[in-house]
Amino acid sequence: MFVDEVVITVKAGDGGNGCMAFRREKYVPRGGPSGGDGGMGGDIILESSQQHNTLLHFRFNPEHKAPRGRHGEGSKRKGKDGDFLLLRVPVGCVIINEDSGEKLHDFLHAGEQFIIARGGRGGRGNARFATSTNQAPRRVEPGEVGEFRRLRMVLKLLADVGIVGLPNVGKSFLLSRISAARPKVADYPFTTLEPVLGMVRVSDDASFVAADVPGLIEGAHLGHGLGTRFLRHIERTRLLVHLIDASELAGPDAEHDYRIILAELGSFQPDLSHRPMLLVASRIDMAGNGDRLRAIQALAAREHLQLFPVSSATGEGIEQLKLGIWKMLLELPHTDDAPEMESHFTESGLLPEQEESE
């Protein structure tokens, strides 16, 4: 199950109370205050990990609480600090304060740590309050309460290339041909119900990550179809690969299909409609008399976009497409929002969890 958004609560540990005690030892005249301080409450730390690719482990475990600090003891003994609680999230996870809407952190690289809730400070024992004029204080402090937060976790996949297009244009089939990913492929719309990542190897030392995003329809930015649920997964991509069905069964107006996707991308986030893009005319083996393919070629010329006619069924044009994507990526800068992702995959091209399950 692919889970890309959850709401959880986190509660850092409370600090331990300070102790009020007085020495009662045989050879210690007058005694004196000996209450120790309470321990610090445990922090809650988030860490990005390559071993997770969804937020499923938070779906059924939404409440997390760190241990509290131990209370202070006599003989000026400080209470033990509470252990921190480490929660692992996938790379690409954005942490948002559910109550205020503030973005707290964005995990862009593996191994990042962020303290999301700090434990309470331990209270001071009465030994801390002894002075020359008050040698037997009866004052202590309670421990501070640890931070409590309601968090919304949103996963945005990190990929170099996002494959977009109307439903049932062959996006999943294309990804299965250019990478080792094995998305569900069928001849009906909305076959893909969750984003799929695939490692595409162009050569021994050249590779990139492509994401198959579930099909968009007109009005997706308003929640129609699969809505905006998966549009966020192409926000971090550097290049969009726009598939248009070139088969004679797809209808005469190829430009209308192109404009629908472009409008939905721009309505969701204006920057997406201006993202570097190339066109792919899919299913050229079913082009018939070629009228629709010629219409796509004319559209690419008007929009000044590179066009790659391909057939995932026969393999025609697949290698040229892979090489064309790679050359275009070389010309595009890497940003903090789209880091290299090769280390997230095994030699098979699958995420570690997917490889173990197979």
Angle 254-268/291-303 helices, nearest 10 degrees?
40
Mean pLDDT, residues 100-122: 93
Task: Assess whether 144 and 258 both reside in one domain.
Answer: no
Tell me, what's the pLDDT at 2? 66
- Name 46's bridge partners: 87, 114
Residues 6+ apart with CB under 8 A from 39: 15, 16, 69, 70, 71, 72, 78, 79, 80, 81, 82, 122
Tell me, what's the pLDDT at 358? 39
List, edge to edge, every strand of the sheet that includes 93-97.
63-65, 5-11, 148-155, 93-97, 103-106
Last residue of a domain, one of 104, 127, 155: 155
Tell me, what's the pLDDT at 338? 43
Name the pairing type of β-strands 206-212 and 161-164: parallel
Task: Assess whether 254 and 347 both reside in one domain.
Answer: yes
Task: Assess whether 99 and 194 both reside in one domain.
Answer: no
Instruction: Give how many domains the chain has, as a whole number.
Output: 2
Tell me, what's the pLDDT at 184? 55
* Candidate from 149-153, 184-188, 268-272, 306-310 with smallest mean pLDDT: 184-188
Task: Assess whether 267 and 306 both reside in one domain.
Answer: yes
* Candidate from 211-225, 269-283, 312-326 with smallest mean pLDDT: 211-225
Alpha carbon distance 223, 172 (integer Å): 22
Rg (CA), the chain: 29
pLDDT tens-digit series, residues 40-66: 999 999 999 888 878 888 988 999 999
pLDDT band at 15 (very low <50, low <70, confident <90, very high): very high
pLDDT band at 346 (very low <50, low <70, confident <90, very high): very low
What is the CATH classification number for the domain harbouring 165? 3.40.50.300
Task: Assess whether 318 and 279 both reside in one domain.
Answer: yes
pLDDT tens-digit series, residues 235-292: 888 899 999 998 888 777 888 888 888 888 888 778 887 889 999 999 898 888 888 9
Alpha carbon distance 358, 353 (integer Å): 9
Give the domain range for residue 277: 161-357
The answer to whether 162 touches 242, Cβ cutoff 8 Å, is no
Task: Assess whether 213 and 253 both reside in one domain.
Answer: yes
Tell me, what's the pLDDT at 151? 96
Residue 27: pLDDT above 90?
A: no
Alpha carbon distance 52, 209 (integer Å): 17
Tell me, what's the pLDDT at 340? 41
Q: How far apart are the first and last CA of the chain?
A: 15
Residues 6+ apart with CB under 8 A from 123: 15, 16, 17, 18, 37, 38, 72, 140, 141, 142, 143, 144
Residue 180: pLDDT above 90?
A: no
Tell me, what's the pLDDT at 206? 82
